[in-house]
Structure 1
Amino acid sequence: MKILVATAKGQGIRTSDYHFATEGEHVVFASECDRRESIDGRCGCKRGLAGTTSRKVTTTALVIDADIDRQDYIDGIVAAQAEAWADLIPTEELVEEAEEMLRIADCFPVGAVVEKRGTSIKMRDPRAVTATSA
């Protein structure tokens, strides 16, 4: 099953890139502030994905084919997110987020490096990713 995990691959393509998450950990949408700044603004929340274990963020994620059952993945994401957000976000919304992450991962080929740009998830140019990973 395709899922998104934190990666340093492709970092540096944008000057606003950052990678503090643990390589290979599952990622979800990072919380966003209400500042009215551009996607590449100082805050960075409009381009961040958060690691579910480290709770640290990255601007790049890798699509992998993981040996995990769909329900186990959803349960794991919900458990990790509930640990941080249980008092603020209902379980149903956490399930929806996990399912959305699976839908997004399924849109891209295994090995693709993706980025969050506002409300969009896009694949980074594979040629540029290869150049930065060399």
Structure 2
Amino acid sequence: MKILTATTETQGEREGDFAFTIEGELVWVGLVCARDERDPDNGGCGCGRAFSGLSSHRATTTARVSDLDLTRDDVITAYAAYLESAGYGIFTASDLAEEVDDMLDICESWEVGDIIGRRLDVLGPRTIGRPGRRSG
């Protein structure tokens, strides 16, 4: 299944890039603080441009579309474990199904190996002009 994973590929191509995640860990589109909502490029913490690592609880501005041997239920379990360990509470599969399905749908619009960036709720390719790249 296609899913987003942390990568350092293309790091440094954009001012303000950072990668504190573990290469290859599952990442998610995390919450955005009020300062970054107003200005994701200069808001302060960078959360408006970052993906959250589900294992490391750290962030990166680049994610790779990876084809992993996971099921939808595996992804739901990983996301639920991340939320619980981050202190957000305990969530059931039905609580998270729509959000996970939305992320999986987004991943289907890109090719395996595409490097994705984020600016608030907009995800798109980090490198323009490569054959087969789509913004979703």
Fold shared, TM-score > 0.5 on shorter chain: yes
The alpha-carbon deviation at position 80 of structure 1 amounts to: 2.0
Which of 68, 71, 82 is 1:69 aligned to?
Answer: 71
Gap runs ≥5 in structure 2: 131-136
Q: Matched residues in 2 for 1:97 and 1:54: separation?
A: 20
Shift of residue 99, structure 1, vs aligned partner: 2.2
The aligned runs of 1:28-107 (5 Å cut-off) are 28-35=28-35, 37-41=38-42, 42-87=44-89, 91=92, 92-107=94-109
Moved more, 41-50 or 90-99: 90-99
CA contact (8 A) 1:81 1:94 kept: no
2:121 corresponding residue in structure 1: 119
SS at match of 1:116: strand
TM score, norm. by length of structure 1: 0.83
Q: Percent identity?
A: 38
Task: Let me know the Cα RMSD of the aligned residues.
Answer: 2.1
Tell me the CA shift for residue 126 of structure 1: 5.7
Residue 85 of structure 1 deviates from its aligned partner by 3.6
User: What is the TM-score of this pair, normalised by structure 2?
Assistant: 0.82
Mapped contact 1:78–1:95 kept (Cα < 8 A) = no
Say if 1:28 and 1:49, in contact at 8 Å, map to a contact too: yes
RCO comparison, higher one (Cα < 8 Å, 6+) = 1
Between 64-73 and 52-61, the greater mean CA deviation after superposition? 64-73
Counterpart in 1 of 2:15?
15
Specify the alignment match of 1:132 in structure 2: none
How far is 1:94 from its partner?
3.6
Q: How many residue pairs align between the two structures?
A: 127
Structure 1 residue 97, shift from structure 2 partner: 2.8
* Structure whose residues are more often helix by fraction: 1
How far, CA to CA, are the matches of 1:32 and 1:93 in structure 2?
20
Letter matched to residue 60 of structure 1:
T
Query: What whole-Å deviation, never above 9, does each CA across 1:16-54 have from its counterpart, x for those lacking one?
Result: 111001110000122211125422113211111110010
Matched AA of 2:102: E
